[in-house]
Amino acid sequence: FLGSSICQMADGILDATSLKELSPLQNVKKPMVLIDRYFEDTSLSYICTDNYRGALDGVKLLIENGHKEILCIRGVPHSMPSKERVKGYIDALRESGFDTRSRIAGNDYSITNGYLETKLAIGSPARPTAIFALSNTIMLGAIGESSLRIPDDVSILSFDNNLFLDFLHPAVTRISQPTKEISQLAVKILMERLSDKQSVPQQIKLPAQII
């Protein structure tokens, strides 16, 4: 996050902050595009993943594979990606008639969060058969629980993609975000705003892909 004085010197702003409220940069009178998140009722341009649909489809895949006890380990609760992914998780369970089976834990996009919440969950009477980790870091913490054999003891679904996941044994099923397309479109939208070719806010959600 740059100070407002530096931002005033810039021609345009790409904002990827993760705040409870609308970014304080909104008061800077410069063209701005939000990346990887948006705020309700905002008139600002944004480009992000359809986190809700990605989570909905991912959890439905777990349910189709016979899972009913699915633990959702979330990241920062107030962040828009986390809220949308949790909503997708809940709606997937609801649509399958498992409303009362939702289990949401955690409060950080960290390895420690994934490890501790997994440790607590597998030691509880209602042990989950699958874990939906809302980020790769959370997922790494979950599989770091040494007493677990994956997928024999528990199945794992991660939100986010990374090349290293293909080298895990077994490879982890994940919901991939179109990060390259997001960054390219963000710059394109900002450049159009700067050249006055596009004055209407562009608010775009790109589909995620299950790998």
Q: What is the pLDDT of residue 40?
A: 74
- Supply the pTM of this predicted model: 0.87
88: its two tokens: 């997708």
pLDDT of 176? 95
Distance separating alpha carbons of residues 167 and 142, to the nearest angstrom: 17
User: Strands 173-176, 209-210: parallel, antiparallel or unpaired by DSSP?
Assistant: antiparallel
First to last CA, the chain: 33
Residue of 128, 44, 27 lying closest to 35 (CA atoms): 44
Please list, in sequence order, all residues whose beta carbon lies within 8 angstroms of the beta carbon of residue 176, skipping any fewer than 6 positions away. 160, 161, 208, 209, 210, 211
Amino acid making up residue 206: L
- The pLDDT of residue 6: 56
Print pLDDT tens along the chain (211 aa): 445 555 567 788 888 766 555 555 556 677 888 888 877 777 788 999 999 999 999 999 999 999 999 999 999 998 889 999 999 999 999 999 998 999 999 999 999 999 999 999 998 888 999 999 999 999 999 998 778 888 889 999 999 988 788 888 788 899 999 999 999 999 998 998 888 766 788 899 999 999 9
pLDDT of residue 24: 58
| pLDDT at position 1 | 45
